[in-house]
């Protein structure tokens, strides 16, 4: 257990983005790349007041190429840095929400995890020529806050050496069990436990939902579902819940064996990349119904991303936009035992670019409402603060993002399978009388729109564009805010043009430059951001939203075409990027 000190020098560009550090796998595998980041993380965590030798350090990943090798390096470096107890997901696998659940739920007090390294680049493609990623989550189960990721980054710019125990044995991750290694002089002991990837998370989910009611729904002859795990880490969780716990056939789980390159696909649950599922559900990539003859279409379809924290919800020939999904789950929270038992939902939060559909629910049902910058880390503070809601000291909380992320305060990450179960729970309650015709996903969404109006919404992504051009485009708009304010373009009056700033109501920290906003006087919005998860190059995201109180039956792309034109002109997409054709529309 003797640590070796290895000389190194700083490597540029190790700044974590929206959710950890993501780069090409080859870059991660190049000499000292992973080691520099991990050493900087261990040092920062220590400086942040965590004693690495107390409790446990959890490690898991989404199973992408280089996952297992990276885990062995993190263990060997951890031993050298004083970690005494490791928990590692079986086969190195653990979904992002399961990591969060395991940190929070597993073990007696003295063993509890103080944090976790998660090896994931989420929805980015995997494999030797694609992306790899790493992030650190803290004791509350949530992503490291900006303060910690900034400290890690600062250390990567000055690092001179790292510590590693090269002679620590390589752990067999394929079998659950404990490996204990004693120092030669008997002075210390390190243990590595390979733990079930699914147990803590599945046990937690069973306390949140009424599994018997969901099973009754799934057993109805007129109801059938399909869940596309997209060859990501979610497969084992889906099988555990739908096959083992809920007694459904294996066919319910599609593409449910994790592969280190996600079978060459893009494990991103949206209309473009979850192509196979979208077709099965009778839709095209715009979310419109297609002619399927007399082929039977499932009643419910869902998909997950590489690390299992995202979800897409589909009904028969019907797409549920993530912003609507968030609003609908919040409006129906009392059908979910977890919220009901705590006296009902009290607060909701959405990221700034997410549509305002949930705002209307919050207003109607008297929930506190928060608007945060993009990324899950901002929700954590709100959930952990004990006194934000009108004096009560506990906050049953639901939050979400337009990027197919939904979750609650049962963990501190978005949780794909939670969202799927939330929808099934709502459907189960709506369909509790088996003699009545099935209330469908489409019925639920349309009834919601009838009551609250509809926030038409779309996001256009321009992926892999030139970084300098993208940055100049954003700078150009930033420089013209005052000229835009009050201007009328194509009938839309711009009431505010600014760059979103977030003042955290809990710790008063300020997050700046979180998205260019053009807010129209009729409530419509145009927003631009540069992605913080792109492994290389730049991705421009353009978000468009318009509210309609009564006209709820239009096709979203038609309802938004005018506003899209205004947006493309304001940013001069053609001039900066050379095209107005996005790579993905969601
Ligand atoms: C994207 C999404 C954001 C999400 C983040 C991490 O970030 O827009 O809403 O929280 O990915 O999700 P960005 O900076 O590229 O827009 V995941 O499933 O990739 O961990
Ligand atoms: Co993800």
**pLDDT digits over 251-282, tens only?**
999 999 999 999 999 999 999 999 999 999 99
Residue located via tokens 């049953």 = 396
- % pLDDT > 70, the chain: 98
Instruction: For residue 446, give the nearest of 585, 273, 307, 324 by alpha carbon.
Output: 324
Atom in ligand 1 nearest the alpha carbon of residue 96: 20
Q: Whose CA is nearest to atom 3 of ligand 1?
A: 375
CB atoms within 10 A of CB 48: 15
The CA 467 to ligand 1 mean position distance, Å, reads 18
- % pLDDT > 90, the chain: 84
Using 50, 70 and 90 to split pLDDT, how confident is the model at 18?
confident
Q: Whose CA is nearest to atom 1 of ligand 1?
A: 533
What is the spatial distance between Cα 354 and Cα 375, in angstroms, rounded to a whole number? Answer: 11
What integer is the mean pLDDT of 528-556?
A: 89
Q: Where in the chain is the domain with CATH 3.40.120.10?
A: 4-195, 201-210+219-235+253-439
Q: Whose CA is nearest to atom 18 of ligand 1?
A: 122
* Pocket perturbation via mutation, ligand 1, pick of 379, 405, 474 by most ligand atoms within 8 A of CB: 405
Under 8 Å CB-to-CB from 420, ≥6 apart: which residues? 227, 302, 311, 313
Fold exhibited by the domain 4-195: Alpha-D-Glucose-1,6-Bisphosphate; Chain A, domain 3 (3.40.120)
Whether 575 contacts 560, CB under 8 Å: no
End-to-end CA separation in angstroms for the chain: 51
Structure tokens at 435: 């003699």
310 lines ligand 1 (CB under 6 A): yes
Atom in ligand 1 nearest the alpha carbon of residue 305: 18
Atom in ligand 1 nearest the alpha carbon of residue 539: 15
The CA 431 to ligand 1 mean position distance, Å, reads 34
- For the stretch 484-530, pLDDT in tens is 998 898 888 999 999 999 998 888 889 999 999 999 988 899 999 99
Concatenated DSSP letters of 165-199: -TTSPPP-TTS-EEEEEE-TTSS-EEEEEEE-SSH
Least confident of 247-251, 332-336, 343-347: 343-347
Neighbours of ion ligand 2 (CB under 5 A): 122, 305, 307, 309-310
379 lines ligand 1 (CB under 6 A): no
- Compute the mean pLDDT over every residue in the chain, rounded to the nearest whole number: 94
- Positions marked catalytic: 122
Three-state DSSP class for residue 325: helix
**Whether the predicted pLDDT of 44 surpasses 70:** yes
123 lines ligand 1 (CB under 6 A): yes
309 lines ligand 1 (CB under 6 A): yes
What is the spatial distance between Cα 527 and Cα 542, in angstroms, rounded to a whole number? Answer: 6
18 lines ligand 1 (CB under 6 A): yes
193 lines ligand 1 (CB under 6 A): no
Under 8 Å CB-to-CB from 544, ≥6 apart: which residues? 457, 458, 459, 460, 524, 525, 526, 527, 560, 563, 564, 567
R_g (Cα) of the chain, nearest Å: 24
| pLDDT of 387 | 54
Under 8 Å CB-to-CB from 56, ≥6 apart: which residues? 85, 86, 87, 107, 111, 112, 113, 114
Whether 352 contacts 400, CB under 8 Å: no
The CA 281 to ligand 2 mean position distance, Å, reads 23
Q: Whose CA is nearest to atom 13 of ligand 1?
A: 531
Domain 454-585 architecture: 2-Layer Sandwich (3.30)
The CA 521 to ligand 2 mean position distance, Å, reads 34
Three-state DSSP class for residue 456: strand
The CA 402 to ligand 1 mean position distance, Å, reads 9
Structure tokens at 404: 């197919």
Fold exhibited by the domain 201-210+219-235+253-439: Alpha-D-Glucose-1,6-Bisphosphate; Chain A, domain 3 (3.40.120)
| pLDDT of 380 | 87
Using 50, 70 and 90 to split pLDDT, how confident is the model at 388?
low
- For the stretch 240-253, pLDDT in tens is 999 999 999 999 99
* Pocket perturbation via mutation, ligand 1, pick of 16, 18, 405 by most ligand atoms within 8 A of CB: 18
Using 50, 70 and 90 to split pLDDT, how confident is the model at 10?
very high
Whether 464 contacts 533, CB under 8 Å: no
Q: Where in the chain is the domain with CATH 3.30.310.50?
A: 454-585
Q: Which helix (H) or strand (E) holds 484?
A: helix 481-484
What is the spatial distance between Cα 382 and Cα 370, in angstroms, rounded to a whole number? Answer: 9
Using 50, 70 and 90 to split pLDDT, how confident is the model at 416?
very high
Atom in ligand 1 nearest the alpha carbon of residue 533: 15
The CA 534 to ligand 1 mean position distance, Å, reads 9
- For the stretch 78-133, pLDDT in tens is 999 999 999 999 999 999 999 999 999 998 889 999 999 999 999 999 999 999 99
**Whether the predicted pLDDT of 394 surpasses 80:** no
């Amino acid at each position: 257990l003797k640590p070796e000190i290895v000389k190194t020098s700083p490597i540029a560009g190790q700044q974590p983005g929206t959710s950890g550090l993501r780069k090409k796998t080859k870059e991660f595998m190049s000499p000292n790349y992973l080691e520099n980041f991990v050493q900087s993380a261990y040092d920062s965590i220590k400086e942040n007041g965590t004693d690495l030798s107390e409790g446990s350090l959890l490690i898991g990943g989404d199973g992408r190429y280089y996952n297992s090798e990276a885990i062995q390096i993190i263990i060997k470096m951890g031993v050298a840095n004083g970690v005494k107890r490791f928990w590692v997901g079986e086969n190195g696998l653990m979904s992002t929400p399961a990591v969060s659940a395991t940190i929070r739920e597993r073990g007696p007090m003295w063993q509890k995890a103080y944090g976790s390294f998660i090896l994931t680049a989420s929805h980015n493609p995997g494999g030797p020529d694609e992306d790899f990623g790493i992030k650190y989550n803290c004791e509350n189960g949530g992503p490291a806050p900006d303060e910690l990721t900034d400290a890690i980054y600062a250390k990567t710019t000055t690092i001179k050496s790292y510590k590693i125990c090269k002679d620590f044995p390589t752990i067999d991750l394929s079998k659950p069990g404990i490996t204990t290694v004693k120092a030669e002089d008997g002075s210390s002991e390190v243990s590595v436990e390979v733990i079930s990837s699914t147990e803590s998370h599945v046990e937690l989910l069973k306390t949140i939902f009424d599994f018997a009611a969901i099973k009754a729904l799934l057993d109805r002859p007129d109801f059938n579902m399909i869940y596309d795990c997209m060859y990501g880490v979610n497969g084992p969780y889906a099988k555990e819940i739908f096959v083992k716990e809920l007694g459904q056939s294996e066919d319910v789980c599609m593409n449910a064996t994790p592969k280190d390159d996600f079978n060459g696909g893009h494990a991103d649950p949206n209309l473009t990349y979850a192509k196979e599922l979208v077709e099965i559900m009778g839709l095209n990539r715009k979310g419109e119904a297609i002619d399927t003859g007399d082929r039977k279409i499932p009643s419910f379809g869902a998909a997950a991303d590489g690390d299992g924290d995202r979800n897409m919800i589909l009904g028969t020939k019907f797409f549920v936009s993530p912003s609507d999904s968030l609003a609908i789950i919040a409006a129906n929270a009392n059908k979910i035992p977890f919220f009901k038992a705590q006296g009902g939902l009290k607060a909701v939060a959405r990221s700034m670019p997410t549509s305002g559909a949930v705002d209307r629910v919050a207003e109607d049902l008297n929930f506190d409402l928060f608007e945060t910058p993009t990324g899950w880390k901002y929700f954590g503070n709100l959930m952990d603060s004990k006194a934000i809601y009108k004096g009560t000291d506990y906050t049953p909380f639901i939050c979400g993002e337009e990027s197919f992320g939904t979750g609650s305060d049962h963990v501190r990450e978005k949780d794909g399978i939670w969202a799927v179960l939330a929808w099934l729970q709502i459907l189960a309650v709506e369909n509790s009388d088996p003699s009545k015709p099935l209330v469908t996903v489409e019925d639920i969404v349309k009834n919601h729109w009838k009551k609250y109006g509809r926030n038409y919404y779309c996001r256009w992504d321009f992926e892999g564009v030139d970084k300098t051009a993208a940055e100049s485009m954003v700078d150009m708009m930033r420089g013209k805010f005052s000229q835009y304010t009050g201007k009328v373009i194509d009938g839309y009056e711009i009431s505010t043009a600014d760059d979103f700033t977030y003042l955290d109501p809990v710790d008063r920290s300020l997050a700046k430059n979180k998205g260019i906003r053009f807010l129209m006087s009729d409530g419509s919005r145009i927003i631009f951001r540069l992605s913080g998860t792109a492994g290389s190059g730049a991705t421009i995201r353009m978000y468009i939203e318009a509210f309609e109180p009564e006209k709820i039956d239009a096709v979203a792309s038609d309802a938004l075409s005018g506003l899209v034109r205004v947006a493309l002109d304001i940013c001069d997409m053609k001039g900066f990027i050379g095209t107005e054709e996005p790579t993905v529309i969601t």
